[in-house]
Amino acid sequence: MGLNDIRETIAGIEGADYADLYAAKKVSHNVRYDDGRMDTLSSSRSEGLGVRLIMGDNSVYAHTGGTKFSDAAGAISKAADMANIAAPKRGRDGEMMPDAELSLPSLDVSFMGELDRRLRSECEYLKQASFSFSTSKKAVLIVRGDGAVSRDEHVYTAFRVSLVLEKDGAVETGFEARSLTCGAEVFWDSPDGKESDTPEGVARAALERGLRLLDAVPCPAGRMMVLLDGAAGGAMIHEACGHGLEADIVYKDYSAFRGKIGQQVACPKVTIVDDATLPGRWGSYACDDEGTPAARNVLVENGVLKRYMTDILSSKMWDLPRTGNGRRQSYADLPIPRMSNTFVVPGESGFDELLSGLKSGFLVRKMGGGEVNPTSGDFVFQVTEGYMVRDGKIGPIVKGATLEGSGPEALRNIEAVGRDLKLDPGTCGKSGQGVPVTDGQPSILIKNLTIGGSDA
């Protein structure tokens, strides 16, 4: 049984409306330096495949470790048995992905010890320092019942710094990361020679944020005008709006955006895009995990809802265009609609212009984690770095702030959109699966958001 046999077998399964096979190989290295010593050194390698059969609005999925033709034949038979339909019983041994023998260079972490000592010698308030460096490479093969065969390869490398500082009994954390879709051997290359692109630059950004927070004052509470800096991260767009535009949430969980294609759902200044074709971004790919080519999908255009993000199953179930957003964490997982690189398109206002026009309000420089109801879009986010603003001037940094509101309402209450688009990489969790994504936005001015404060 060769690749053509696999394709013909999947296409010929009678009783299934659709079938596909997903195979993957992955290798990774991880290093963690924690509190003055090397804490973790690990490498891993995995491979496996899964076969999915769709009958109406139901799916069955069989997966196994291994990427040989015999593994594929076994998974096809198992999936057919689960679906109570017939499948050919044939197979021979041999490697299905012989051109995906993955290898990674070792991680150079010789700088970590010296960086730790230098930061401690310069900052008396630094109590704990953790550095993590990771790199991975993943090759995938997708064979579909419609005859399509797709291949893709993903390479990710990330360096993260987390620092704990203490001053006069106050304890704060500074965090910063550098994440790129490239190998570790070129990870620190910087055509501009910027210090921010070095291990010390990343660590100092974390240290400076932590030091600022040590001097923070309690945050007042109330509804107010909020200016989200472009560097704040796209958490609100991703969590409070993006998930509500994923087709399974739209139709199964009754998202607030259900039935609103063609309607005004945001300020006319707002255009939201999900674009998996952006070169080098954390959420980019050539094809999704169902073999559908990556695409630039305009979700909201000038405030009007244009489309939802779909995978093959949701596209079939609800007669929606296929957008190439079927993603999965591993070969052991079914694909579901997921975001890739999701962002608000830049507008016309400069940050200084937005700030100067803010008479009284709140500036968010950096967002933290939070909770979101994907059905209603209601959210509560921690504010990692925030400031009070009065008469267009940035006031003291505050602590204990939360940002609360409704995603759909916040979209309608946007007053202005800036030019300074920033894109931040991250990992998105949904249905127990995590996938790499990028979130982004320029500076955005929003009225009537609730700030929960530590003095509330």
Sign of CA dihedral 306, 311, 312, 318: negative
What does the pLDDT look like over 66-121, one tens digit per residue?
A: 999 999 999 999 999 999 998 766 556 788 887 777 888 889 999 999 999 999 99
Task: Please tell me whether residues 122 and 242 are part of one structural domain.
Answer: no
In the predicted model, what is the mean pLDDT of residues 410-436? 95
429 and 340 in a single domain? The answer is: yes
pLDDT at position 1, please? 56
More confident call, 372 vs 211: 211
The residues near 57 (Cβ < 8 Å, ≥ 6 apart) are 313, 317
**156, 125: one domain:** yes
Assess whether 7 and 150 both reside in one domain: yes
Query: What is the band of 61 on the pLDDT scale with cuts at 50, 70, 90?
Result: very high
**Distance of CA 137 to CAs 105, 203, 237, 277, Å?**
11, 25, 29, 19
pTM value surpassing 0.85: yes
Residue 236 has pLDDT above 90, yes or no: no
Task: Compare 456 and 403 and report the one with higher pLDDT.
Answer: 403
The pLDDT of 407-416, averaged and rounded, is: 95
Q: Quick one: residue 169, left, alpha or beta (phi over 0 = left, psi -120 to 50 = alpha)? A: left
Out of 214, 247, 281, pick the residue that ends a domain: 214
State which residues form the domain around 163. 3-214
The pLDDT value recorded for residue 89 is: 65
Token pair of 170 as six digits: 């106050």
Is the pLDDT reported for residue 233 higher than 70?
yes
- Indicate the number of domains in the chain: 2
Q: Is pLDDT at 455 greater than 90 in this prediction?
A: no
Residues 188 and 265 in one domain: no
Flag whether pLDDT at 311 surpasses 70.
Answer: yes
pLDDT digits (tens, 9 = 90+) for 258-280: 999 999 999 999 999 999 999 98
Gap between the terminal Cα atoms of the chain:
68
Q: Are 328 and 203 in the same domain?
A: no
Please, are residues 452 and 360 in contact by the beta-carbon 8 Å criterion? Answer: no
Same domain, residue pair 334 and 206: no
pLDDT at 168: 93
Phi then psi for residue 312, to 5 deg, are -65, -45
Do 227 and 150 sit in the same domain of this protein? Answer: no
Of 180, 214, 248, the position where a domain reaches its end is: 214
70 and 116 share one domain: yes
Picking from 236, 247, 279, the residue whose alpha carbon sits closest to that of residue 405 is 236
Average pLDDT of the segment spanning 341-349:
96
Given 214, 248, 282, the domain boundary residue is 214
**In the predicted structure, residue 193 carries a pLDDT above the cut 90:** no
Looking at the structure, do residues 55 and 74 belong to the same domain, yes or no? yes
Question: How big is the CA angle at 185 (ends 182 and 187), to the nearest 5 degrees?
Answer: 50
The pLDDT of residue 9: 85
Regarding whether 310 and 377 lie in a shared domain, the answer is: yes
* CATH number of the domain residue 44 falls in: 3.30.2290.10
> How far apart are the C-alpha atoms of 86 and 9, rounded to whole Å?
11
Same domain, 83 and 186: yes
Residue 447 pLDDT > 80: yes
Return the pLDDT at 454: 67
pLDDT digits (tens, 9 = 90+) for 122-139: 999 999 999 999 999 999
| pLDDT value of residue 453 | 80
